[in-house]
Structure 1
């Protein structure tokens, strides 16, 4: 009685207006996420960091199979802005649903192309079109999230950032790079090309920044050991070292006067992708809890029959829907507005990652003791989600920057 009032929703919930193309792509990416990302993600999670980046690692299948979907940055760039924003959200939610860490590996691989397109350096996009596995070199051993804030929104009044760990200088018609980037460079151990955000040494001693495109097979480039970490173990991360690396001056993507434009643009894109990716991971945790609640029996009945279990599942559902709505709304606004609102992307990033962690934690609680064993997927989801609140800018620092962006003074 009353069952006729129920509406059974699709996995992505209250999506009422997907067209045929969007629905087809969504299903294709979901199939890839289920058949490729999930099993490979579980396999990589149990491997050493060195095994993850080895030549015979299943990691490489993640990229080769993704390429078959025809969803590269160049493919997406051909779409009108609003369509591109909608489709990117659909794609990265499914990737995050499959495996959050591997979704970040796919997203990080695209960052050089995203930055080059934002700075209208289509000549470099064409020149390096075959180097599809990229990375974003920004954080340093002595500088973390503050590297994302050259405008100084998050600094104490009067405080200075201090000397950076990596600099580029002009030498005739060449750029010369020296220094290092931290162990948190996503795809650092595997990428063939890097979009490098670093200091600009013109001899003035002033804090100036620039952006340089660096092929990682140049003399003087070396890499640290892949990072051994708690979660997102399928995402290779590691240091990059530059010892008198020399490259043509046309690889200077943003000089100091253009640096803020590059920083702002990449943050808008990266934070937006983080938000919807981890919304997908939150959805995965919710679905696992939902299925378990229908299978697990306690008190003589499946635990879904207990009111408190239904109560908790509803709040997980509500959180995922709210996160998706914010992430997609911010992405759409930034795609069509005369100027993107970074505070919207920051809100999406913080909401999506916090939702992933909260829902994964609630899913573990619903699994009881089983939830903390490696036999069940929710344990890995929680570990993966925990790192998301730090990567691409820790949420606390981003919130300070977002608050500064909405303040009137």
Structure 2
């Protein structure tokens, strides 16, 4: 411990804050991915942010360099599942926090890219896993133009008693040895325009009409006949993350492409939602940390009243609460990912707790960081305005936080107490 001239005790924490000393494996992951995030993701993320959506996904785009170098790091699904559950959880948290520290949009792109392989592995389906090797970029298509966060509430737990769901936008017809997909998925499919393979969640028709509660999960090669795509979405935040519509016109596949049929559909929604929400918590812990670190450094450099602004009480207090939120987000993310990877049954409402906490904290921390940068924070000369925009998008991703909170709240109901 060192002491400053005015007797304020200081103590420097590690790269992941007040985290117990990492294992040798954990240190390797943190150092390797942090280097990649700093040297590759950050500069490329800035470039992509200033390109049109079409330019960002073109063959010569720097996105593909970032993607190639991520794959070369070797954090594929098979390697992750070779780890013991507790070590797998810690590795995933470190990996995605560092990716989120580098660039939130790219982190979400790479995370979504793993979902077809991840779920095929979790369900033990070798055929579907072979369709989604680690080198192929995946996407997750679940939300629809008329049914956004509704699709994440397949059980109808929070559906209003007077509401009517309406006609599904995408339906898989299960007929003999085939599945035929027709319809569309919304413009919010992450990697939708550039993915090689899709994990599709949609209503299913087994002969009695389309049913959104007994849907199907299908692994769809994106070069299958009848698959087409819209234009890439133009957004204010996470511009490095490609998103866009997918259209299905009589896409006919063998039944082996079905990862989960109507009887397993609700469990499959639960599984991917629990996994995605927990990983989102790790990503946006990293985003919050990035904003805090930038503001912390700037507060030591910028002077007002003849002193570095960190000497002013309002700035010091603001930084402390930013630090507090980053630490709380990390602790919750690690705790819940560990629980969900080691428990017999993962907890969806716990995962939603982590996602909401981390994303809300990321936006609040980024907002406070921008305030510390003051006028400079509004300019593109400084990186904080981009992080602020990226963090704002997280409050809507993987289900808007308001809907997740209602669904999570209903999950707390204990029938034995009613």
TM-score (norm 2): 0.96
Deviation at 1:202, TM superposition (A): 2.3
Contact 1:131 1:192 survives alignment (8 Å): no
Matched, 1:68 2:75: no
Aligned residue in 2 for 1:354: 360
Contact 2:171 2:210 survives alignment (8 Å): no
Aligned residue in 2 for 1:273: 279
Deviation at 1:128, TM superposition (A): 3.7
Aligned residue in 2 for 1:311: 317
Root mean square deviation of aligned Cα: 1.3
Aligned residue in 1 for 2:238: 232
Describe how 1:156-305 pairs up with structure 2 within 5 A: 156-205=160-209, 207=211, 208-305=214-311
Contact 1:200 1:256 survives alignment (8 Å): yes
Matched, 1:132 2:147: no
Deviation at 1:350, TM superposition (A): 0.3
Describe how 1:135-150 pairs up with structure 2 within 5 A: 135-150=139-154
Aligned residue in 1 for 2:382: 376
Describe how 1:23-42 pairs up with structure 2 within 5 A: 23-42=27-46
Q: Of 38, 43, 47, which aligns to 2:47? A: 43
Deviation at 1:130, TM superposition (A): 6.0
Contact 2:71 2:135 survives alignment (8 Å): no
Following TM superposition, the consecutive aligned residue runs of length 4 or more in structure 1 with deviations greater than 3 angstroms are: 1-5
Contact 1:231 1:386 survives alignment (8 Å): yes
Aligned residue in 1 for 2:86: 82
Matched, 1:57 2:57: no
Deviation at 1:239, TM superposition (A): 0.3
Aligned residue in 1 for 2:343: 337
Deviation at 1:84, TM superposition (A): 0.2
Q: Counterpart of 2:73 in 1: which secondary structure?
A: coil
Q: Aligned partners of 2:132 and 2:366: how far apart in 1?
A: 39
Residues 323-352 of structure 1: CA deviation (Å, up to 9, x unaligned) = 100111011111111111111100000011
TM-score (norm 1): 0.98
Q: Which moved further from structure 2: 40-49 or 13-22?
A: 13-22
Unpaired stretches in structure 1, ≥5 consecutive residues: none
- Size of the alignment, in residue pairs? 409
Residues 180-207 of structure 1: CA deviation (Å, up to 9, x unaligned) = 0000000001001000001101231352
Contact 2:175 2:206 survives alignment (8 Å): no
The structure-2 alpha-carbon separation of the partners of 1:8 and 1:130, relative to structure 1 and needing over 3 Å to count, comes to closer
